[in-house]
Amino acid sequence: MAGGWAMVPILICSAIALAIVLERWWTLRRTAVLPPGLGNEVREWARAGQLDPRHLEALSNGSPLGELLASALAVRNRPRELIKERIEDTGRHVVHRMERYLNTLGTIALIGPLLGLFGTVIGLIRMFMEVMAGGIGDPAKMAGGIGEALICTASGLTVAIPAYVLHRYFRSRVAGYCVQMEKQATALLDELTLSSPARARRAVATAAPGAG
């Protein structure tokens, strides 16, 4: 109340920023994005041929990494370039979902100081209007306007600084996850495309003596 009505948008922004931070903190947990051992388990599935639709659906719905790997397994019999293209397409969608709401958090970090500055200007205008109406004989009126201006400025910075820091933190976390998912996807791609000819040759070599 001491900051005036200009505090209302600042408080709304703080509530939205807090909700986004809590939601992203939970969603971007490492165990939720990159379940431990999932990449090795999926490669074992590929080696053993355990790639029925039930496995792929559970894998896709389990985590972002699982969705990326499942997209490669869904086209595992295609050429390497087509599998790679499918991984890249799915990866863009996965990254987009991991970055959900981060633009909003960045916008709040940007407009927080501006809202504080807006409240400062409103407070100073009110102070000067009261001085014009009643002169400078009442210092309390001037102090009230200055106090309103300073409260808005401080509140805007209090919202903007944590929002900016957390926005950068979540961006860096998503970037790190992308690197790890790319490594796992490349390993699976190699398993699907490089080991398949070798397995085929071994199968032919095994069957050849019997055929003779």
Report whether pLDDT(2) > 70: no
Say which residues have a Cβ less than 8 Å from residue 201's Cβ, sequence separation at least 6. none
A 10 A CB-CB count for 131 gives 15
Q: Residue 208's pLDDT band (boundaries 50, 70, 90)?
A: very low
Report d(CA 70, CA 87) in Å as an integer: 9
> What confidence score (pLDDT) does residue 134 get?
62
At residue 159, does pLDDT exceed 90? Answer: yes
pTM of full prediction above 0.85: no
User: CA–CA separation, 127 vs 146, rounded Å?
Assistant: 7
- The rounded distance, in Å, linking the Cα atoms of 130 and 142 is 8
pLDDT of residue 128: 74
In this predicted structure, the answer to whether residue 106 has a pLDDT above a threshold of 50 is: yes
Average pLDDT over residues 79-100: 92
Higher pLDDT among residues 49 and 67, named by residue: 67
Mean pLDDT on 115-144:
72
CA distance 179 to 82: 21
SS3 state of residue 100: coil
183 has pLDDT over 90: yes
What share of the chain in percent tops pLDDT 70? 82
Q: Please report which confidence band the pLDDT of residue 137 belongs to, taking 50, 70 and 90 as the band edges.
A: low
